[in-house]
Chains A and B, each alone.
Chain A
Amino acid sequence: MAHHDHAHADHAHDDHEHHGPEKGIMRWIKTTNHKDLGTLYLFLSFTMFFIGGLMSLVIRAELWMPGLQFVDPEFFNQMTTMHALVMIFGGVMPGWVGLANWMVPMMIGCSDLALPRINNWGFWILPFAFALLLSTLFMAGGAPAGGWTMYPPLVMQTGDAFPFLIFAVHLMGVSSITGAINVAVTILNMRAPGMSLLKMPLFVWTWLITAYLLIAVMPVLAGAVTMLLTDKYFGTSFFAASGGGDPVMFQHIFWFFGHPEVYILILPAFGIVSTIIPTFARKALFGYDSMVYAVASIAFLSFIVWAHHMFTVGMPLAGELFFMFATMLIAVPTGVKVFNWIATMWKGSMTFETPMLFAIAFVFLFSIGGFSGLMLAITPVDFQYHDTYFVVAHFHYVLVPGAVFAILAGVYYWIPKWTGRMYNESWGKIHFWLSAVFINLTFFPQHFAGLAGMQRRVPDYAVQFVDWNIWSSIGAFGFFVAQFIFIFNMLACCYGWFGRKQGLPDRIWEGAHGLEWTVPSPAPYHTFEDPPQIGAGEVTAVHDEFDALDHHKLS
Chain B
Amino acid sequence: MKMGWLARLAAGTTLALAAVSAGAYTESSGGYNLPTGVTDLSQEVFDLHMLIFWVCVAIGVVVFGVMFWSILHHRKSKGHKPADFHESTLVEILWTSAPFIILIGMAIPAAGTLIKMEDTRGADMTVKVTGYQWKWQYDYLGENVSYYSTLSAESNKARQLGSGIDPNTVPNYLVDVDNPLVLPVGKKVRFLVTSADVIHAWWVPEIAVKKDAIPGYVNETWAKINTPGTYRGVCAELCGRDHGFMPIVVKAVTEAEYKEWLAKQKGGAAAPAPAAAAPAVVEVAAAPAATATDAKPDAAAIEVAAAPAAAAPAAAKDLSKDELMKKGQEVYTANCSACHQATGAGMAPTFPSLIGSPVIKGPAAGHVKQTLAGKNVMPPFKHLSDLDIAAVVTYERNSWGNSGGLVQPSAVAAARK
Contacts and interface: CB of A to CB of B under 8 A. Distances in A.
Interface of A: 66-69, 71-74, 77, 140-141, 145-147, 151, 153-154, 157, 159-160, 241-242, 245-248, 281-290, 310, 312-314, 317, 320-321, 324-325, 328-329, 331-332, 335-336, 338-339, 342-343, 345-352, 360, 363-364, 367-368, 371, 374-375, 378-381, 383-384, 386-388, 448, 451-453, 455-465, 467-468, 542-544, 551, 553-555
Contacts of A363: 67
Interface stretch (B179-187, B216-224, B305-313, B326-334): B216-224
B76 A153 contact: no
A495 B158 CA distance: 52
A287 B114 contact: no
B83 interface: yes
**Which 3 pairs, one residue from A and one from B, show the smallest C-beta to C-beta distance?**
A241-B216, A458-B244, A314-B219
Interface in B221-241: 233-241
Nearest to A551: B86
Contacts of B113: 380
Contact of B103 (A153, A331, A458): A331
B165 interface: yes
A332 B76 contact: no
A225 to B, nearest CB: 17
B67 A345 contact: yes
Contact of A384 (B25, B95, B208, B348): B208
> In the complex, which of the residues B88, B168, B244 has the most CB atoms of chain A within 10 Å of its own CB atom?
B244
Contact of A371 (B30, B41, B60): B60
A461 B174 contact: yes
17 contacts: A71-B161, A72-B161, A74-B347, A287-B88, A287-B92, A288-B87, A312-B210, A317-B115, A347-B70, A371-B56, A380-B41, A380-B113, A380-B208, A384-B205, A455-B234, A455-B244, A462-B23
Nearest to A383: B210
A464 B173 CA distance: 9
Contacts of A543: 87
Contacts of B5: none
B296 to A, nearest CB: 32
Nearest to A70: B161
Contacts of B244: 73, 455, 457-461
A342 B56 contact: no
Contact of A347 (B74, B100, B216): B74
B55 to A, nearest CB: 8
Contacts of B32: 448, 451-452, 468
Contact of A157 (B29, B159, B163, B240): B240
B238 A146 contact: yes
B383 to A, nearest CB: 20
Given A332-B100, A380-B110, A467 B86 contact: no
Contact of B71 (A140, A350, A387): A350
Contacts of A453: 24-26, 29, 35, 205, 233-234
Nearest to A294: B96
B203 interface: yes
Interface stretch (B45-53, B140-148, B285-293, B397-405): B45-53
Contact of A336 (B45, B96, B377): B96
B283 interface: no
Contact of A332 (B67, B103, B161, B240): B103
Nearest to A371: B56
Nearest to B175: A462
A375 B53 CA distance: 7
Given A367-B60, A380-B117, A458-B243, A324 B103 contact: no
A67 B63 contact: no
A463 B23 contact: yes
A286 B80 CA distance: 18
Given A66-B173, A246-B216, A464-B24, A345 B74 contact: yes
Contacts of A335: 95-96, 99
B316 interface: no
B81 interface: yes
